[in-house]
Chains A and B, each alone.
Chain A
Amino acid sequence: MNKPKSKLAIAKRKFFPLVKSLQTGLLLITGLAGYMSARCPIFNIPTVLGLTGSLLLAISGSTALNMWYDRDIDARMPRTSKRPLSTGETRPEEALIFGLVLSIIGITWALTVDILYGMIIFSGLFFDVVVYTIWLKRRTAWSIIWGGISGGMPVLAGRVLGTGAIDWVGIALALGVLFWIPTHILTFSIRYHEDYQQANVPTFPSTYSFQTTRLIIAISSILATLAFGIASYGVGLTWGFLRLLVVLSAGLFILAVQSLRSPSERITFGLFKYASLYMLSAMLLMFFAGI
């Protein structure tokens, strides 16, 4: 009885960290929110299962591939040096196979659910793994734009699965995620500036300056809230939900401005956490508005 249990535990320890459960969970929620924003009945079990399963696998696969490719960077950064690929607990070829299998199953499943939906999921994976991770991440700080585009794909795909076409609301939702990404990633790159420098990864703080980075965070926060505001109008959010979105957006904006005015480690950390909560809340609002 003990042997299989310990094998499972070992497999969990080796592979579970490769999928970054919190990030994957948040992206999955954006996909479900995009779908529900089209006022689709949640009781459409086969479609919801197809969306959840395919998206979960594709996002997990792309994250694992991303971690496989970046294993040398991760090993050089104190923050990520304990990851199983950096410590040697997971071998690179194991991680590669794991990522490829998840990605292929996820994309294939997505294509069987709906061709357009599957193509958008595939493009998200392509932008994340090939364009962002392999091509641009080590060359330019601006690579985050491509990371942002791939981050916007799940919500667009969910919306497309609900409506059957790419519409302006789906684009606005994806833009909201795209503009939110800098707030999320750049606060991270400020907080772990020395880690990234040690690994020779170009970031905005190292390429430009901390103050410029904070200005970009403030601008991108405003653009993200505007995009979500426009999208929520298109989704047909009721006044009550809209008021809550305005309140949450105002909080994000004020924190970003505060970070610009009197920068500190605490404010940066607060903005990073609040931005994640903001995204989760905005998506839950779209989700519940659709029920």
Chain B
Amino acid sequence: MYKITIRDRLLLLATVLLAAYQIIAGLDGLSPLSIWIYTTGFGILLVACLLLIILGFEGLESQGVVIVSTAIPLSISLGLVSVHLPSCFFPYLVFCLVGFGATGVTRFVLRGKAPTLVLALVHGTAGLVIILLPLILSIQGQVPAGYLLVSLGGGLIGLGGLLLAFLRAGKPLLSQEVIYQLLPLILFLMSLSFLGGFSFW
């Protein structure tokens, strides 16, 4: 088992501080609902990083990690939809709730390929929303180019989440040690990208 290092802890602490800043700062002009949705995503990220600092990577052995790693992109993508595609908010909210529930239920109840398929569908959809929505809005000129950093954050969260999810599903894309070495850096860069992108809002 890869032991957490000082470098990892510092990167995770920096991620905690970035997430805390985003939660405190919020986003100007958004409805309270949208702000709370974003708060949920960054809040889960913050608490998860704190627990990683305290418990080390042994904390990632739990199946609950898969659920947590799904909740973050779902929340952030839902926040983006609530702001930029308000007409799609309700159907997407239903997708998020059902997808989140299905990820949890299939993880603990079903065996075989079903949990991985559900996970890939839910996680992949949320990741694509985070990547594509700012990209399309930027091309249409509705948001500044700097908002594309949100897409970069989406790409990183998708990468980190899928690496972890497939590791837990028993089908690792990289070795466990490499994933654990990369994870703090991915989380930090992801938070930095989100913060940078949202600062253009």
CB within 8 Å of B: which residues of A?
239-241, 243-244, 246-248, 250-251, 254-255, 266, 269-270, 273-274, 277
Contact = CB atoms under 8 A, between A and B. Distances in A.
A125 B128 CA distance: 58
> What are the 3 closest A-B residue pairs judged by CB atoms, nearest first?
A247-B43, A240-B24, A251-B47
B39 A270 contact: no
Contacts of A270: 51, 54-55, 59
Interface centre among B24, B25, B35, B51 (most CB of A within 10 A): B24
A11 B19 CA distance: 43
A6 to B, nearest CB: 31
A239 B32 CA distance: 10
A247 B47 contact: yes
Interface of B: 20, 23-26, 35-36, 39, 42-43, 46-47, 50-51, 54-55, 58-59
29 contacts: A239-B26, A240-B24, A240-B26, A241-B24, A243-B23, A243-B26, A243-B36, A243-B39, A244-B24, A246-B39, A247-B23, A247-B39, A247-B43, A248-B47, A251-B43, A251-B46, A251-B47, A251-B51, A254-B47, A266-B59, A269-B55, A270-B51, A270-B54, A270-B55, A270-B59, A273-B54, A274-B51, A274-B54, A277-B50
Interface centre among A247, A255, A274 (most CB of B within 10 A): A247
Given A251-B47, A270-B51, A244 B58 contact: no
Given A243-B36, A266-B55, A270-B54, 19 more contacts: A239-B26, A240-B23, A240-B24, A240-B25, A243-B23, A243-B35, A243-B39, A244-B23, A246-B39, A247-B23, A247-B46, A248-B47, A251-B50, A266-B58, A269-B55, A270-B59, A274-B50, A274-B51, A274-B54
A255 B55 CA distance: 12
Looking at chain A's contact residues, the main secondary structure is helix
Contacts of A266: 55, 58-59
A239 B27 CA distance: 12
A254 B44 CA distance: 11
